[in-house]
Amino acid sequence: MSSLLGKTASGVGCAVIALPLLAALTLAAALGSPSSGSSAAASPSAHALTDIPPRILALYQRAAPECPGLSWTTLAAIGKIETNHARHPTMTSPAGAVGPMQFIPSTFTAYAHPVPPGGKKPPTPWDPIDAVYAAARLLCAHGARHGKHLWAALFAYNHSHAYVSHVLTTASAYAARIAAPTSAAAKAVAFTRSQLGTPYVWGGDGAADGGFDCSGLTQAAYRTAGITIPRTAQTQYNAGPRLPKDTALAAGDLLFFGPSPRHITHVTLYTGSGTAIDAPHSGAVVRQGPARTNSPSFQGATRPAARAGGGR
């Protein structure tokens, strides 16, 4: 029995009518996990940027990593359906659910700790920070980790097949469409994957040097695709073409890190689904891991494959 048994399906902003289980499952499968074709690192769509208050959007993005693999779009969809992103005047349902994410207070208590940065002490379901982090933890506890059982996790949040379908559909609208990689980008990604496990060598350009450094790897990747880019991370960043801040990343994009745009110290190659490949540092090997675009040191991305007609 769900810990949210008292939570109303017709709580603030979510009047629903039960659908057959098969129909809801079919929609969930079509939309995918997590949340309809989006990854945990999905860029906001134009609709998301206009519909979600900026501070609340940033909160959804900040809280999602509480559950590895959970997309911020899922939290945003719940926040939309429950209280229109805390815009509802009372944020209280007939069943006693309260706050921007509509928690029964006793249920909130089970997921309120540790208190997130900027949360209230003691935590309260009325506080947006506390509530969104608790929602991420609740979803994770019910199977949303890495999207494996997202449908079940959403059903645990609100026992309605229609509610689950509504969340998945809303989440889909909040994620920017992912640009399909060009043939040049696909070749660059394939090359970097073929180098996984190759040693990091400062100044290295490949096998003749015993390995790669970060920019040596990305330059070699695009060389295999017939595109010439400069040698160092800074000059690769300067060469562009740079992507506007809210552009959805595509496989093959280069991601740049450093203290400032004029002091780029590292470059990685985006491989899709929130991951990137890089040659990190001395003593390490070429690896694949999180793209880290939410890092304070992330300075932006470029799309070398857009040159020469995109390399199609």
pLDDT (tens digit per residue) in 139-157: 999 999 987 899 999 999 9
Give the mean model confidence (pLDDT) for residues 49-59: 94
Write down the H helix ranges in 205-274: 214-224, 233-239
Provide, rounded to the nearest whole percent, the portion of the chain with pLDDT above 90.
Answer: 74
**Confidence label for 4 from pLDDT (cuts 50, 70 and 90):** very low
Residue 311 is predicted with a pLDDT of 37
Domain boundaries, the chain: 21-174, 183-311
pTM beyond 0.75? no
Name the architecture of domain 183-311. Alpha-Beta Complex (3.90)
Residue 308's pLDDT is 54
pLDDT band for position 27 (50/70/90)? Answer: very low
What separation in angstroms does the CA of 286 have from each of 75, 174, 192, 203? 33, 33, 8, 14
Question: For 256-312, what is each residue's pLDDT tens digit?
Answer: 999 999 999 999 999 987 889 999 999 999 999 999 998 999 999 999 998 754 433
Q: Please report the sign of the dihedral spanned by the C-alpha atoms of residue 237, residue 39, residue 115, residue 49.
A: positive
User: Thinking of the domain 21-174, which architecture would CATH place it in?
Assistant: Orthogonal Bundle (1.10)
Q: What is the C-alpha separation between 234 and 261, in angstroms, rounded?
A: 8
Average per-residue pLDDT for the chain: 85
Indicate if the pLDDT at residue 98 is higher than 90. yes
